[in-house]
Amino acid sequence: MADKHTIIGNYVSIGPNVRRFGAAHPLQDLAMHPFWYNPKLGLVPKAFDVPRKSCIIGDDVWIGANSVILPGCTRIGTGAAIGAGAIVTKDVPDFAVMVGSPARQISTRLTEHEQVQLRELDPWSKDPESASEILKSIRIDQE
């Protein structure tokens, strides 16, 4: 389930029970119950709503089951992998492998050459057959 301000790229794989929140409870306010900030509950005008952030999930991202993406994360980079159960609290670089609570980067996917080739050739903007040919060419190019 994703907040309405979520933009999801091409060829993204999202496991079950993944959640993305674009807003947080207002910790600085005297009260945190939604009655005092959510206009849909009828007690306050629309201007009282908490700020909501967008999040861009890049192409070819994998997000494992039961992960949670919090408002501090506004971008998950192209080719990133989010491990199952991770709590993502900040932006994720391209091709990063993130795990844990809070999520931390434990490695980077692919070689620098492969990352550059993927960025330049952009297979994620192509149909599956064309993308497949591009992916094959990158690995053949290295042999």
Return the pLDDT at 4. 81
| H helices, E strands: number in the chain | 2, 11
Looking up tokens 């089951």 gives 65
Looking at residue 18, its amino acid is V
Contact 91, 73 (CB under 8 A): yes
DSSP helix/strand/coil, 142: helix
pLDDT at residue 23, as a whole number: 87
Q: Report mean pLDDT in 10-residue bins for the chain, 143 residues.
A: 86 97 88 88 85 94 98 97 98 98 97 95 96 91 61
Q: Where are the domains of the chain?
A: 6-107, 110-143
pLDDT at 142: 62
Peptide bond between residue 102 and the one before it cis (omega within 30 degrees of 0): yes
Q: What is the pLDDT, as a whole number, of residue 1? A: 67
Fold (topology level) of 6-107: UDP N-Acetylglucosamine Acyltransferase; domain 1 (2.160.10)
Q: What per-residue confidence (pLDDT) applies to 14?
A: 97
3-state secondary structure of 98: strand
Per-residue pLDDT, 48: 79
Cα separation of 10 and 33, whole Å?
37
Which residues are identified as catalytic? 25
